[in-house]
Structure 1
Amino acid sequence: MAKFIGLDVGSKTIGIAVSEGYFAKTHSTINFTENNFLEASEKFNEFLKNNSYKKIIVGYPKNMDGSIGHRVKMVEEFLTQLYEICQVSTEKVVKIDERLTTRFARAILIEANLSRKKQKANKDQLAAQLILETFLQQNK
């Protein structure tokens, strides 16, 4: 049972990490048709049917200057579908500033000397883990 679910939302994938409250661990990646957030939320809804949670922590990728760009609008589009399709209340969703998270995840995977194929397969989950760990550190 996961108390917290971390999400790294992309245009074709959603990385998922889970935590029981102390440490975050990678879980899986949802693949969907590019920018089809209805499909993404339907697939995530299947994940939710098998996993309980207290909060869903979503990476909120603001621009480096703190402004809202197209990546945040993409996350908002997913969240709109999440609230409707998955029947998740807004109180259960926490948005975490995730500037550079994917870049950090990629650097960690390169440092681990993984092949490009393995890096691609794991970067979204690792980014979700970093997002979730940020939340856990802020809420000790």
Structure 2
Amino acid sequence: MKTTISALGLDIGRRRIGVAGCDRTGLIATGLTTLDAKVFAELIAELRSLVAEREVEVLVVGLPYSMNGDIGPQARQVQKFARRLSRTLDLPVDYVDERLTSVEAEQMLHAQRISPSRHKGLIDRKAAALILQQWLDERRQGLRAFPPTSDSEND
């Protein structure tokens, strides 16, 4: 297994995209920024800059499965958008089950006595970090291959 990795974790929403990055060892994910998802060209410019700066090798995208584990309309929209990002940035994409990451991120803010309703971007960044951390942990445990298999790229 490759010892270093550079990945971006993405929590894709209709209005905002939370972005997280990891240290080169692949141990720790950290929220980086929240991007506006409305103007694709601007989003791509910002992501290209992060990809170049961090030498990113893979996009890790949170997939919002329904509570029963099915891929519903929202998850299909995320997949479609992630595939577009993947083609445009020329990077593989891997998906992580993101159910309840936003809830967990909100709980983290409550614990810090920060109002989630006033810090939506922070929630998105924290959710992206949780998504990426899950992927990193699974990768270290041998549950994830890198680069992602073609199945995970074409979901």
State the TM bucket, normalised to the shorter chain: 0.7 to 0.9
Whether the aligned pair in 2 keeps the contact of 1:18 and 1:24 (CA below 8 Å) is yes
Q: Distance in 2 between matches of 1:41 and 1:132?
A: 20
* TM-score, normalisation: structure 2: 0.76
Q: Which moved more, 1:36-45 or 1:119-128?
A: 36-45
Give 1:18's aligned residue: 21
5+ residue gaps, structure 1, are: none
How far residue 56 of structure 1 moved from its aligned partner, in angstroms, is 1.5
Give 1:106's aligned residue: 106
**Which residue identity is paired with 1:139?**
R
Secondary structure at 1:139 match in 2: helix
The answer on 1:131 being equivalent to 2:128 is no
How far residue 119 of structure 1 moved from its aligned partner, in angstroms, is 2.7
Q: Distance in 2 between matches of 1:61 and 1:116?
A: 20
5+ residue gaps, structure 2, are: 141-155
Q: Distance in 1 between matches of 2:69 and 2:41?
A: 27
Give 2:153's aligned residue: none
List per-residue Cα deviations over 1:7-47 (Å, max 9, x = no partner). 100011110111021111110011132xx656644542343
**Which residue identity is paired with 1:83?**
S
Q: How large is the Cα RMSD of the aligned pairs?
A: 2.2
The answer on 1:76 being equivalent to 2:60 is no
2:11 to 4, 8, 17: 8
2:67 to 53, 64, 67: 64
How far residue 116 of structure 1 moved from its aligned partner, in angstroms, is 4.2
How far residue 60 of structure 1 moved from its aligned partner, in angstroms, is 0.8
How far residue 104 of structure 1 moved from its aligned partner, in angstroms, is 0.7
* TM-score, normalisation: structure 1: 0.84
Q: Distance in 2 between matches of 1:68 and 1:38?
A: 28
> Structure 1 vs Structure 2: percent identity of aligned residues?
29
Whether the aligned pair in 1 keeps the contact of 2:83 and 2:93 (CA below 8 Å) is no
